[in-house]
Amino acid sequence: MIHAFFSTLQVAGYEIHLNRIEKVTEEGETVVGKIGISEVARGYYHAIGGKENIVEVDSCITRLRLTLKDASIVDEAACKRLGAAGLIKPNNKNVQIVVGTHAELIAEEIKKFK
Amino acid sequence: MFGLFKKKSEDFLPVLKGKVVSIEEVPDVVFSQKMLGDGFAIEPENGIVVAPVDGVIAQIFPTNHAFGIVTDSGLEILVHIGIDTVDLKGQGFERFVEVDQKVKAGTPIIKFDLAFVRANAKSVMTPVVVTNKEKVKSMHVNYGVNPEIAATVEINN
């Protein structure tokens, strides 16, 4: 049984409280199904440091490909709660977040927040 | 479609001519560590990528280097041509079909310039992954050169 309970989303103060998200499966699609692409994208936008930290947002079919000012501040736990299967950090300026096959849609939404 | 008979398994054709190898050999942790699911990979001899199964094209990346196909039996399959090939920005890739098109196993989906991709991308190795893991009861892969069936997936219904 898939049980995802999404609690407070506080936009004011740019904080997201992903209280009580319980994901029985690892599927990013589950979280997208529960709260929608736009909310998932907003979550990633904050987890990667928002517009102060984002240099470029790109995607491949399964992952966000990000150029950041500082990749070390990425909130990996938040990404996992949003359904990311993993993070890859080739260096301090680049991060790939494996979000699943909605990657292109999520990237497009993140670009709107910038 | 009455839905009375749900397929219990799907046979996957090799998406390319070449050698079927373990997905763990793919030089990209997303595939080799099965982050998105289990599957297999092909070391290609040619550049015509065919549908591995009957299904509907769910997505084709704008640069034509990867596509998703969904079967009636509910498997969601990703085919990713080469590694880091998104960086080629579509050069050397051409699509034959469109999203939402129904295709049969063996239908050509994408054509790519094997020599060009080999020279300009990280790898030409092409993984095929079932991305909805919960549907996969088991997967049996036939490794080696040009098997008739690359893999058989038993489906959880």
Each residue of A66-98: pLDDT tens digit?
999 999 999 999 999 999 999 999 999 999 999
Q: Is the CATH code 2.70.70.10 the one for domain B9-155?
A: yes
Judged by a CB distance cut-off of 8 A, whether residue A104 touches chain B is: yes
Using CA atoms, how far apart are residues A79 and A83, in angstroms rounded to an integer? 7
Range of the domain at A43: 35-113
Task: Residue B58: list chain A partners with CB under 8 A.
Answer: 101
**Mean pLDDT score of chain B:** 96
Tens digits of residue pLDDT in B16-63 = 999 999 999 999 999 999 999 999 999 999 999 999 999 999 999 999
Q: What is the tally of structural domains in chain A?
A: 1
Q: What's the DSSP call for residue B85?
A: G
One of A2, A24, A55, A60 is an active-site residue; which one?
A: A60
Statement: residue B153 has pLDDT above 90: yes
Using CA atoms, how far apart are residues B97 and B76, in angstroms rounded to an integer? 18
Using CA atoms, how far apart are residues B79 and A21, in angstroms rounded to an integer? 31
Higher pLDDT, A16 or A39: A39
The reported pLDDT for the residue numbered A17 is 43
The reported pLDDT for the residue numbered B4 is 61
- ipTM score above 0.90: no
Using CA atoms, how far apart are residues B21 and A97, in angstroms rounded to an integer? 26
Statement: residue B91 has pLDDT above 90: yes
Of the candidates A31, A104, A30, the one whose C-alpha atom is nearest the C-alpha of residue A61 is A104
- The domains of chain B are located at 9-155
Confidence of residue B13 (pLDDT cuts 50, 70, 90): very high
Average pLDDT over residues B69-83: 97
The whole-angstrom distance between A58's CA and the closest CA on chain B is: 10
Confidence of residue A7 (pLDDT cuts 50, 70, 90): very low
- Residue A29 domain flag: no
Task: Residue B76: list chain A partners with CB under 8 A.
Answer: 101
Nearest CA in chain A to B60: A61
Of the candidates B88, B150, B92, the one whose C-alpha atom is nearest the C-alpha of residue B121 is B88
Statement: residue A102 has pLDDT above 80: yes
Confidence of residue A34 (pLDDT cuts 50, 70, 90): confident
Q: Are B101 and B109 in contact (CB under 8 A)?
A: no
CB atoms within 10 A of CB B108: 13
CB atoms within 10 A of CB B30: 21
Q: Are A14 and A39 in contact (CB under 8 A)?
A: no
Nearest CA in chain B to A104: B61
The reported pLDDT for the residue numbered B28 is 96
CATH number of the domain that A47 lies in?
3.30.1360.60
The reported pLDDT for the residue numbered B2 is 58
The reported pLDDT for the residue numbered A27 is 46
Tens digits of residue pLDDT in B100-147 = 999 999 999 999 999 999 999 999 999 999 999 999 999 999 999 999
Statement: residue A9 has pLDDT above 90: no
Statement: residue A8 has pLDDT above 50: no
